[in-house]
Amino acid sequence: MGEKGPISSAFTIRSETRYLSALRRWVDAMASLAGRSRVGRRARTALKMALVEAVDNAIFHAHRGDRTRPIGVRMQVGPGSVVMEVKDTGPGLDHQPGRLPEGMALHGRGLYLIRSMMTSVRSRKGRGSHTLRMVLKI
């Protein structure tokens, strides 16, 4: 069941870190639905990492800790790829370099991790919103 067709799921959360563990379980659940042979352990690790970093970014940078602002998350597992989108109401990622910071720096690894873990990453601005689209070939 569900081995060939795409599977998709989407929901909206508040800007709160307490959802992070649930988001990781969601990735595992989607991978199980798609079939563990399709979304293997390394892919699940990459997806969880990228999703958590994208939501961290929305909470702390885009929404600057305003818990009331919504974050939309969407995932689609297709035959050859997994697409995840994280939508916030912030200004986008223009201010973030996405490079690995020097060794002892405390911050700045989030976007680098996303880019390292995903096959492609695209940032798109809308009217009062920003969407980070992350694709992993599987």
Partner 1 sequence: MNIDVKQQGDIRVMHCGGSLDADNVSAFKKIAYDLVGAGTTRIVIDCENLTFIDSMGLGVLISLLRRVRQRNGDVKVASLSEEVKTIFEVTRLHRLFEVCSDWNTAVRRFDTD
How is the chain classified by DSSP, letter by letter? --SSS-EEEEEEEES-GGGHHHHHHHHHHHHHHH-TTTS-HHHHHHHHHHHHHHHHHIIIIISTT-TTSEEEEEEEE-SSEEEEEEEESS--STT---SPPPTT-SS--HHHHHHHHSSEEEEEEETTEEEEEEEEE-
Task: Write down the least CB distance from residue 109 to partner 1, Å.
Answer: 4
Q: How many residues bind partner 1 (CB under 8 A)?
A: 27
- Which of 59, 62, 121, 138 is close enough to bind partner 1 by CB under 8 A? 59
Scanning 77-85, 87-95, 100-108, 125-133 for contacts with partner 1 by CB under 8 A, the matching segment is 100-108
Residues that bind partner 1 (CB under 8 A): 17-18, 20-21, 24, 41-42, 45, 48-49, 52-53, 56, 59-60, 100, 103-107, 109-110, 112-113, 116-117
